Amino acid sequence: MPNVEYESNFAEVAGLITDTTADRLAEIGQQFVAEWRRNISRRAGGGRQYPHPFGGTYRASAPGEFPVYRTGSLHDSTEFDVEMTEDSGTLAVGSDAEVALWLELGTYKMAPRPHLRRTFEQQQSNIVRLLESRWF
């Protein structure tokens, strides 16, 4: 009877899948944050004119528009993070700037200027394309 040996490559394949998942999620995160920053980099909106904190004036965004770049705090705080566990990966995008939530959801004095949600709607087909494309 012939001698048959079995060698498992499971650990290597599982590692490759984890690494590829992390890379794909990072690619999605980079593209998403780049688009998000483009969306909030406009210098003038369709809203009211106000004094600029650094001198001069600026035209604010109107309700429903992307926020206007004013001080850069929102723009500069946009980021993403990829976390991998043994059996899953998570991509988180967000901003730790307090104004991000105020603009996204609005306040009792200001109607929403949704920026994260609208960027996701713009990027949804790109995200699906990247996840569905060939991985290996």
Would the pLDDT of 136 be above 80? Answer: no
Cβ neighbors of 35 (< 8 A, separation 6 or more) are 119, 122, 123
Helices 10-39 and 116-132: crossing angle in degrees, nearest 10, is 150
- The count of structural domains within the chain is 1
* 92 assigned to some structural domain: yes
Segment (H or E) for 116: helix 116-132
Q: What are phi and psi of 59, to 5 degrees?
A: -100, 120
In this structure, is residue 9 part of a structural domain?
no
pTM value? Answer: 0.87
Residue 60 lies in a domain: yes
**Structure confidence by residue, pLDDT tens digits, 4-53:** 888 999 889 888 889 999 999 999 999 999 999 999 998 889 999 999 88
- Percent of all residues in the chain with a pLDDT value above 70, rounded to a whole number: 100
Structural domain range at position 128? 30-132
Residue range 59-68: mean pLDDT, rounded: 94
What single-letter amino acid sits at 70? R
- Do the domain assignments include residue 16? no
- Residue 40 lies inside a defined structural domain of this protein: yes
What is the reported pLDDT for 134?
85
Q: Indicate whether 6 belongs to any domain.
A: no
Selection from 128, 111, 100, 85 nearest residue 39 by Cα:
100
Alpha-carbon distances, residue 95 vs 32, 79, 119 (angstroms): 13, 6, 13
**Are the CB atoms for 39 and 118 separated by under 8 Å?**
yes
pLDDT in tens, 73-131: 999 999 999 999 888 999 999 999 999 999 999 999 999 999 999 999 999 999 999 99
Would you say residue 21 lies in a domain?
no
For residue 10, what pLDDT is reported? 87
Do the domain assignments include residue 101?
A: yes
d(C-alpha 47, C-alpha 43), whole Å: 12
The per-residue pLDDT for 53 is 84
Q: Which of 108, 72, 87, 112 is nearest to 21 (CA)?
A: 87
